[in-house]
Structure 1
Amino acid sequence: MSSDRAEGVLLGLACGDALGRPVEFRSAGQIASAHGTLTEMVGHGTWNQPAGTITDDTEQALCIARSLVETGRFDPADVADRFVAWYESGPFDIGGMTRRSLEALREGRSWDEAGEAVWADSPEGSNAGNGSVMRCPPLAVAFADDPAALDRTSRDSSRITHADPRCTAGCAVLNRTIAGLLGDEDEPLASALGATEVPAELDAALRPVARGDAIDDLSTSGYVVHSLQTALHDGLRADTAEDAIVTAVNRGGDTDTVGAIAGAVAGARFGADGLPSRWLAEIDEEPELRRLAGALDGWSGGE
């Protein structure tokens, strides 16, 4: 794995997150009316933050990456503690299942109980959001050469807040795909789907993407199956990292998260050097993201 492509995963995630943040919840038509095609970091908009501001997607990915580097292993209890500390800092954006799970952690639930309890209390339609897949790519860099460990840690990282099998498998498939890209596999998504247990609904949504099919009715809702299908479609098909992120964000909907996932995938393909320097200059966390990616590249930690 090249250090440039390891950096690309984390920086691509942040670029997609920050580009999408000001237009989150807007439709494609609303984005087009306000921006034409949104290609630049802009301020204000949704959440009224300065240009280049990251959201919970990158902030939670940073929690995972810092935990890996500072503890030398994947420790889900430590990750959960960092999520709670982040939550207590008052983030402007946080998903519903994540918030409820972190509140359960604050009340004394263990890392492997909180997400399960929230999932059990959530009806179908609000129990399989994209809040864990958006933050999991640091694990793909750390465990790129250990598929079994990558699968386990990806699923456990999801379980902290999102215990639905579509979410836990979604993290495993996404991270196996990113690891495959870092290892120059020809068909990384197909390999990922064939290497781990995946719920039928998620498998059916991702098989056409793995075949390279063009899909006309892609959704940008916060449902994990929709988010992964759309982000992997754009991240794997685009000719450049910028095109992948711009395409994903301009679809509207959950723009920061779909953009972040597409950005991580595209970053693994094209590297940090393939990301626009004008975007990176706007992201305050860029030096730390590079440092953490460098520490995770060729990582010798463990579970």
Structure 2
Amino acid sequence: MATVDDQRSRARGILLGLACGDALGRPVEFQPPDRIRRDHGRVTKMLANGTHGQPAGTITDDTEMALCIARSLADNGEFDPADIADRFVEWKASGPFDIGIMTSSALQRIQDGESWEEAGQNEWETSPEGSNAGNGSLMRCAPYAIAFRDDPDRLVEVSRQSSAITHADPRCQWSCALFNRTLANLLTDEERPLATATTALESGLPEEVLGAVEPVLESRHGQQANVDLENSGYVITTLQAGLYHGLTAGTAEEAIVDAVMMGGDTDTIGAVAGAVAGTRFGVDALPERWPDSLSARDELDMLASQLLDIDA
């Protein structure tokens, strides 16, 4: 069992690891790996400009939506999906420079009068295969792993419900649930975090989710060539790549940099890998230059502590 100090370090690592991966990947988002290597070499420091033309260390929708969730949990002391949906809508109305298509469409439905239960479901049902299971709910869901780490059944329930606000596809809902159960297992020092989570949820997991985690379960550090990772915005490939880098890398920095160097959806793959690595290694394993560059660092630290103290 992890000590109180260990859990606090790992909880801070979840949120700051997510934000660091997001900000490190933002400037090279959508770029192929060969172009990233040509222009920047190995990306180990926060870059300015690039995709979205923002200053170095700027977070994107990945962290901004995670902040919406964390603030709601901290303010209410419980999961309130209507409040979280309202915070998402308010954030969208602020004009973020980056927002996913499915997220934007579902939130627009809520703005237009649909309930949060209806909006995500209706958006999913009217979206064609290939554009209906993005990673927009996976990227933001990590705060639940802190607040509900000691109540695994409730953690699965809230992870799925929160996903359904914008991403109701079962692949998205169950990816969030499996991801958060894995993070919670890391927080509480479970010896086999992903294997234990997969076994517990196996009867409900869609075939695609199970297929994505199987090669990760079989991997060890140094065997990267055995896993054919993809860098798309599909929730299944993002879950696989994020878990793989986060669980098999030798250091937190290696996990996040390797994820970003895949190219493609670099901010989200970096964020998912960062949340895993930050939990696994603790906040102090993140290179100090990374969190120091984040304008939201103090709030992320504060929220991690508040989420630990929720009596969920």
Question: With structure 1 as the length reference, what TM-score do the two structures score?
Answer: 0.98
Which of 237, 256, 263 lines up with 2:267 in the alignment? 256
Is 2:251 the counterpart of 1:240?
Answer: yes
1:40-66 Cα offsets, whole Å, 9 max, x none, are 001000000000000000000000000
**Following superposition of structure 1 onto structure 2, how do residues 1-303 of structure 1 map, counting pairs within 5 Å?**
1=2, 2-196=7-201, 197-212=204-219, 214=223, 215-300=226-311, 302=312
Distance 2:83 2:160 in 1: 16
How many residues matched? 301
Residue type at the aligned position of 1:11: L
Per-residue deviation, 1:146: 0.5
SS state of the match for residue 108, structure 1? coil
Distance 2:214 2:181 in 1: 15
SS state of the match for residue 157, structure 1? helix
Distance 2:127 2:192 in 1: 35
Distance 2:217 2:161 in 1: 25
1:8-31 Cα offsets, whole Å, 9 max, x none, are 000000000000000000010010
- Gaps of at least 5 residues in structure 2 are none
Distance 1:28 1:138 in 2: 30
SS state of the match for residue 128, structure 1? coil
Give the conservation status (yes or no) of the 8 Å contact 2:216–2:227.
no
Distance 1:237 1:207 in 2: 14
Distance 1:186 1:95 in 2: 35
SS state of the match for residue 140, structure 2? coil
Give the conservation status (yes or no) of the 8 Å contact 1:190–1:211.
no
Per-residue deviation, 1:277: 0.7
Distance 2:217 2:309 in 1: 27
1:91-119 Cα offsets, whole Å, 9 max, x none, are 00000100000000001111111000000
Per-residue deviation, 1:216: 3.8
SS state of the match for residue 130, structure 2? coil
SS state of the match for residue 38, structure 1? coil
Per-residue deviation, 1:212: 2.0
Give the conservation status (yes or no) of the 8 Å contact 2:78–2:310.
no
- Gaps of at least 5 residues in structure 1 are none
1:234-292 Cα offsets, whole Å, 9 max, x none, are 00001111110000001100000000000000010111111111011110000000000
SS state of the match for residue 78, structure 2? coil
Give the conservation status (yes or no) of the 8 Å contact 1:8–1:268.
yes
Q: CA RMSD in A?
A: 0.9
Distance 1:255 1:77 in 2: 30
Distance 2:75 2:123 in 1: 29
1:159-213 Cα offsets, whole Å, 9 max, x none, are 0000000000000000000001111112111111111211001101111102226
Give the conservation status (yes or no) of the 8 Å contact 1:16–1:245.
yes
Give the conservation status (yes or no) of the 8 Å contact 1:187–1:210.
no
Distance 1:118 1:194 in 2: 31
Distance 1:105 1:210 in 2: 39
